[in-house]
Structure 1
Amino acid sequence: MKLYTYVVARDYGFAPNPFFGLCTLATCKPRIREGAQVGDWVAGTGSKKHGLGDHLVYAMRVGETLTFDEYWANPRFRSKRPNLRGSLKQAFGDNIYHRDPSSGLWRQEKSHHSHGNGQTNSANVKNDTQTNRVLVSDWFVYFGRDAVEIPARFRQGKEETVTRHGRNHLVNFRPGFEEEFIAWVLSLGQKGFRGEPIAFRRQLAKTGTGIRKQVRRSA
Structure 2
Amino acid sequence: MAVTMSKIYRYVVRVDKGFAPNPYNQFCTLACCKPKIRKGASPGDWVVGFANSSRGNSRLIYAMQVGEVMPLNEYFEDKRFRGRIDNIYYENNGELKQKKNKFHDEKDYETDVGGKNVLIAKDGMWWYFGNKAPDLIVEICNDDAKAKYSRVEAIDRLLFNGRNYMVNGLLGDEIGILYSYLMNNWPDGGKIGEPFDAPIHPKCG
User: Which of the residues 53, 57, 61 maps onto 2:61?
Assistant: 57
Residue in structure 1 matched with residue 175 of structure 2 by the alignment: 178
Distance (Å, rounded) in 2 between the aligned partners of 1:58 and 1:154 = 19
Counterpart of 1:187 in structure 2: which amino acid?
N
**Residue 34 of structure 2 contacts residue 115 of structure 2 at CA under 8 Å; is this kept in 1?**
no
Q: Is residue 154–residue 162 contact of structure 1 (8 Å, CA) maintained in 2? A: no
Q: Percent identity?
A: 36
* Aligned counterpart, 2:95: 105
Structure 1 runs (4+) greater than 6 angstroms displaced = none
CA distance in 1, matches of 2:135, 2:128: 13
User: Quick one: higher RCO (CA 8 Å, sep 6+), 1 or 2?
Assistant: 2
TM-score norm. by structure 1 comes to 0.75
The 8 Å contact of residues 31 and 87 in structure 2, kept in 1 or not, is answered as yes
- Equivalent residues in 2 for 1:37-56, closer than 5 Å: 37-49=42-54, 51-56=55-60
Shift of 1:26: 0.4
How many residues are treated as equivalent by the alignment? 179
> Post-superposition shift, 1:155?
5.7
Q: Give the 3 Å change call, closer, same or farther, for CA 155–29 of structure 1 in structure 2.
A: farther
Structure 1: stretches of 5+ with no match in the other structure = 81-92, 115-120, 205-219
CA-based RMSD: 2.0
Change (3 A) 1:150 1:130: same
Superposition map of 1:1-219 within 5 A: 1-49=6-54, 51-80=55-84, 93-100=85-92, 102=93, 104-111=94-101, 112-114=103-105, 121=106, 123-137=107-121, 138=123, 139-151=125-137, 152=141, 156=153, 160-172=156-168, 173-190=170-187, 191-200=189-198, 203=199
Q: Calculate the TM-score normalised by the size of structure 2.
A: 0.80
Where does structure 2 lack aligned partners over 5 or more consecutive residues?
Answer: 1-5, 142-149, 201-205
